């Protein structure tokens, strides 16, 4: 290192302490990066890579960004999962005798960003901390620094539940211990795709002890302590805005694992990873950023509490009954800014005068919102306004202090109103009077010299000056002015009076700007004292916004209030898929009934591809979720129990990154449902077994149906193309066959999208291929092959009940008539086959029997 210049040595020492971050090293008006940082940043930011002499043998790679536009570059890096260490000059270069002293003043990471331009206003930005307590128990803590929200939760059911919990939240960064098992680290990076950071300290410091209960679970406190230490180390800021921790008991909410959230597309679509096309997209009629974030959290954690749900239904119904007042409320809410994040910026110390103006304008609207809510008929709605505090003292403080034309920066003046501070008014008066004197002097000199183009100007280098063009210099009397600067086309002059006035003006302006800055810092500290009531107000406004959103979407889309039952029956009349219905717009959506009483706990759904089986299954789950977040549901009527969990296996979602095939993913998701579900759960399984051979798949599908029916008793919708499974209704009393109607018309299939009782009688696979546009010769060949298969004789005396069974190939070819030995063998096999009671066997036992019979046949060949 001694070969490098002192400045590069300083850079390397600071970089050594921030090896996992880009080091933005302040040099004058730029943040510079060197060595590997420069090479990588030039690619990621698409900026020019240069080099400089740093005292070593080779030139040092270098790139930089202007400090005034650094935020945009930092945002780009953070969005890509990188960390950025901001290294500032902490002493005046003019007074420094050697290398200017520099220190890292802030570490910007994906989980700790606070700038509005780096945040999605409709989504939380969580930083999480994970601690492994034992093989099955993990504690989680996560915080949104922009809002102050703090959540703790303990997971005692293994790693899969950890992944589901992390997947269900918008977590951008996870803090862990370095000795966390490598397999867990790998899964976090592959499945959650968050930035991993490390912190070993877990002790809860005295500064945040007030945020947790004294008797809190020590396992939770480890993750909480790790989280706080990481924040304090990286941010070096006061954390006054952190709210008391909320301990979330996961069993108090409807369980939605990562598979269900993804398959049902609750907050983002599978393909585009965007909001449009998701359930959130349909029901988000909120008008504030706070409300939008709260709604997303409600969808991610549906309720199990009947009382709270019925309370929400009552409020939604009240909002729907008074359309005009609700529309007034929506207009009033539109003028409310993000109070939650404004409070966070105040506490964090990066609030500016315009932020405080937004806060003032929002508070100005709160009394009208409270009055509007109180004017409604519903007592439940009136109760919402009871604790809404408009904070009149804070509004008055901001109204008296902040100028309506306040600039973005807080060091250039112009923020504080006249009349707020007597000393500031005096400085401003001196400055204004001096400028008025200069304007009057300019007019006077023009008249006395006869030079109409004469002007008095100002710049930061030379101060005030009198400028006369060269063409008019002959009009000046000798000795009238003192020469100050010569330009190409003009001369600049000064007078003793102008010098004195300049001194007075600049002195007043400097003192005014400094005093304004000091007053603003004092004002910010005063606003800090209102952070807790501001956060409470934000929470109340966001709840009002969410509930009016439910009413607005329910009215627009013709949703109805669900009835919560205690008998575990499901009855949905003319139910609809909320997303498909909205996407179809003017097209007619075909509604369908759902009936799952005590004698039909499981629905076995058959029908051709593209007929609507998956849509039907999803709409049941989405209806349940809407009901359990407190919204009305897309149906003519709905009676629903409270489900404790929803499990889904819908669609072919290969997990290629993790090296898992479609079939493996299918089995993993099925396993998760079967091992975790209870008789109060809802299970959706779509075409289980299709990823393997026909007989393997059919055996697995039947075994899963039997297991759920006999061992779990959960409400289940199971779609299949294995028509052989429809005969299971004879052995399983709570299994019911339904199918999606399709008709053949002039050689083409017409999907009616109607659910009817009974099993489907045909698959229409070739018709669907024809609809997909496969070449006609291929379609004709497929029909020929199908006819050949259907015409093959079946070597059994009993014919199966369904047409699809007739299409299956026989296990055994017919024996030649002249082969007596084979006749005897066949007779022996038939005798054995007839001796088995197939209905008493499980699928595995049946497969073993078939395998042994096949071996016996092959011996006689």
3-state secondary structure 648-669: EECCCCCECCCCECHHHHHHHH
Per-residue DSSP letter, 593: E
Token reading at 227:
């989280």
Token code pair at residue 850: 């078939």
- Residues 347 and 339: their CA atoms lie apart, in Å, by 12
Q: Which two tokens stand for residue 64?
A: 């930089």
Report how far residue 59's alpha carbon sits from residue 62's, in angstroms, rounded to the nearest whole number: 9
Is there a contact between 575 and 619 (Cβ–Cβ < 8 Å)?
yes
* Cα torsion angle, 704, 706, 711, 714, sign: positive
Do residues 605 and 613 touch, judged by C-beta distance below 8 A?
Answer: yes
Q: Using N-to-C axis directions, what is the helix angle for 339-348 and 353-374, rounded to 10°?
A: 150
The token pair that represents 250 in the structure block: 């996961």
Classify residue 48 as left (phi > 0), alpha (psi -120 to 50) or beta.
beta
> What is the Cα–Cα distance from 631 to 799, expressed in whole angstroms?
51
Picking from 622, 567, 551, 629, the residue whose alpha carbon sits closest to that of residue 308 is 629
Q: What is the CB neighbour count within 10 angstroms for residue 293?
A: 27
H/E element, 317: helix 306-321
HSE value, Cβ hemisphere, 13 Å, CA-based, for 853? 19
Secondary structure of the chain: what % helix, strand, coil (to 5)?
A: 50, 20, 35
Binding-site residues from annotation for ATP: 607-614
Range 831-861 burial, b when 16+ CB lie within 10 A, else e: eeeeeeeeeeeebeebeeeeeebeeebeeee
Q: Spell out the residues 6+ positions from residue 499 whose beta carbon is closer than 8 angstroms to its own.
A: none
Contact 516, 416 (CB under 8 A): yes
- Contact residues for 472 (Cβ-Cβ < 8 A; gap 6+): 451, 453, 454
| CB-based contacts of 260, cutoff 8 Å, min separation 6 | 621, 646, 647, 648
* Contact between 533 and 390 (Cβ < 8 Å): no
The residues pairing with 660 across neighbouring beta strands, listed in sequence order, are 655
Q: How far does CA 448 lie from the centroid of its chain?
A: 71
Burial of 14 (0-12, 13-18, 19+ CB in 10 A): middle
Q: Three-state DSSP class for 728?
A: helix
SS3 85: strand
CA–CA dist 282, 173 (Å, integer): 29
Classify burial at 184, counting beta carbons within 10 Å of its beta carbon; exposed 0-12, middle 13-18, buried 19 or more: middle
What is the Cα–Cα distance from 676 to 760, expressed in whole angstroms? 31
Strands of 434-520 (E only): list them. 455-459, 463-469, 482-486, 490-494
Binding-site annotation: residue ranges: 607-614
DSSP string, 747-783: TEEEEEEEEEES--S---HHHHHHHTT--HHHHHHHH
């Amino acid at each position: 290192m001694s070969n490098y210049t002192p400045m590069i040595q300083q850079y390397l020492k600071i970089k050594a302490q921030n090896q996992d971050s880009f080091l933005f090293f302040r040099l004058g008006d730029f943040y510079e990066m060197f060595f590997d940082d420069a090479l990588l940043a030039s690619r990621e930011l698409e900026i020019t890579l240069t080099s400089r002499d740093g005292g070593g043998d080779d030139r040092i790679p270098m790139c930089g960004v202007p400090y005034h536009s650094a935020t945009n570059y930092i945002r780009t890096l953070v969005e890509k999962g990188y960390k950025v260490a901001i290294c500032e000059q902490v002493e005046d270069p003019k007074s420094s005798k050697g290398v200017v002293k520099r220190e890292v003043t802030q570490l910007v990471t994906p989980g700790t960003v606070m700038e509005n331009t780096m945040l999605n206003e409709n989504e939380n930005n969580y930083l999480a901390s994970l601690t492994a307590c034992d093989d099955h128990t993990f504690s989680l803590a996560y915080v949104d620094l922009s809002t102050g929200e703090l959540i703790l939760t303990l997971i005692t059911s293994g790693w899969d539940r950890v992944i589901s919990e992390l997947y269900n939240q918008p977590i951008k960064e996870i803090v862990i211990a370095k000795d966390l098992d490598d397999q867990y680290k790998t899964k976090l990076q592959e499945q959650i795709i968050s930035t991993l950071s490390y912190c070993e300290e877990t002790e809860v410091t005295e500064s945040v002890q007030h945020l947790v209960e004294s008797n809190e679970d020590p396992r939770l406190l480890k993750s909480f302590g790790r989280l706080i230490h990481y924040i304090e180390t990286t941010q070096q800021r006061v954390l006054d805005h952190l709210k008391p921790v909320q301990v979330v008991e996961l069993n108090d909410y409807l369980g939605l694992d990562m598979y269900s959230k993804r398959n049902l597309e609750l907050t983002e679509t599978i393909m585009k990873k965007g909001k449009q096309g998701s359930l959130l997209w349909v029901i988000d009629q909120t008008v504030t950023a706070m409300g939008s974030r709260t709604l997303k959290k409600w969808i991610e954690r549906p309720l199990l509490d009947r009382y709270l749900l019925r309370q929400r239904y009552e409020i939604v119904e009240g909002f729907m009954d008074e359309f005009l007042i609700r529309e007034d409320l929506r207009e009033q809410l539109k003028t409310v800014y993000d109070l939650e994040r404004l409070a966070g910026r105040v506490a964090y110390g990066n609030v500016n005068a315009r932020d405080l103006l937004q806060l003032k304008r929002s508070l100005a609207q709160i009394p009208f919102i409270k009055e509007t809510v109180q004017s409604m008929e519903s007592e439940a709605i009136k109760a919402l306004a009871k604790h809404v505090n408009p904070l009149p003292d804070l509004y008055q403080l901001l109204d008296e202090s902040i100028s309506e034309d306040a600039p973005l920066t807080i060091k250039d003046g112009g923020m504080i109103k006249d009349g707020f501070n007597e000393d500031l008014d005096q400085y401003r008066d001196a400055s204004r009077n001096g400028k008025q004197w200069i304007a009057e002097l300019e007019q006077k000199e023009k008249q006395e010299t006869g030079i109409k183009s004469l002007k008095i100007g100002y710049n930061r280098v030379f101060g005030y000056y009198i400028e006369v063009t060269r063409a008019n210099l002959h009009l000046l009397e000798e000795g009238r002015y003192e020469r100050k600067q010569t330009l190409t086309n003009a001369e600049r002059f000064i007078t003793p009076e102008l010098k004195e006035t300049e001194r007075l003006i600049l002195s007043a302006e400097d003192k005014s700007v400094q005093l304004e800055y000091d007053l603003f810092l004092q004002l910010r500290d005063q606003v800090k004292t209102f952070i807790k009531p501001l956060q409470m107000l934000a929470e109340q406004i966001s709840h009002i916004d969410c509930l009016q959103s439910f009413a607005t979407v329910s009215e627009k889309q013709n949703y109805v209030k669900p009835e919560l039952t205690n008998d575990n029956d499901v009855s949905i009349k003319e139910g609809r898929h909320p997303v498909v219905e909205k996407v179809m717009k003017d097209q007619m959506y075909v509604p369908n009934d759902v009936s799952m009483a005590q004698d039909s706990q499981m629905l076995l759904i058959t029908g051709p591809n593209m007929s609507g089986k998956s849509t039907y299954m999803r709409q049941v789950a989405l209806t349940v979720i809407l009901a359990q977040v407190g919204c009305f549901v897309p149906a003519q009527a709905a009676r629903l129990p409270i489900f404790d969990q929803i499990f889904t296996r819908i669609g072919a979602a290969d997990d290629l990154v993790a090296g898992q095939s479609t079939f493996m993913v299918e089995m993993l998701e099925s396993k998760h449902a079967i091992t975790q579900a209870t008789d109060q759960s809802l299970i959706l399984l779509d075409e289980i077994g299709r990823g393997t051979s026909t007989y393997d798949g059919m055996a697995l599908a039947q075994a899963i149906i039997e297991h759920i029916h006999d061992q779990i008793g959960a409400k289940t919708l199971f779609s299949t193309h294995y028509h052989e499974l429809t005969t299971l209704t004879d052995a399983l009393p709570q299994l019911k066959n339904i199918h999606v109607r399709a008709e053949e018309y002039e050689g083409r299939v017409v999907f009616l999208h109607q659910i009817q009782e009974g099993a489907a009688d045909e698959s229409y696979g070739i018709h669907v291929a024809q609809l997909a546009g496969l070449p006609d010769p291929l379609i004709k060949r497929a029909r020929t092959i199908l006819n050949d298969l259907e015409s093959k004789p079946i070597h059994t005396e009993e014919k199966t009940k369904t047409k699809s069974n007739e299409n299956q190939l026989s296990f055994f070819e017919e024996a030649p008539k002249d082969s007596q030995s084979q006749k005897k063998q066949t007779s022996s096999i038939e005798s054995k086959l007839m001796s088995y009671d197939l209905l008493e066997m499980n699928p595995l036992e049946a497969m073993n029997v078939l395998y042994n019979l096949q071996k016996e046949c092959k011996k006689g060949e």
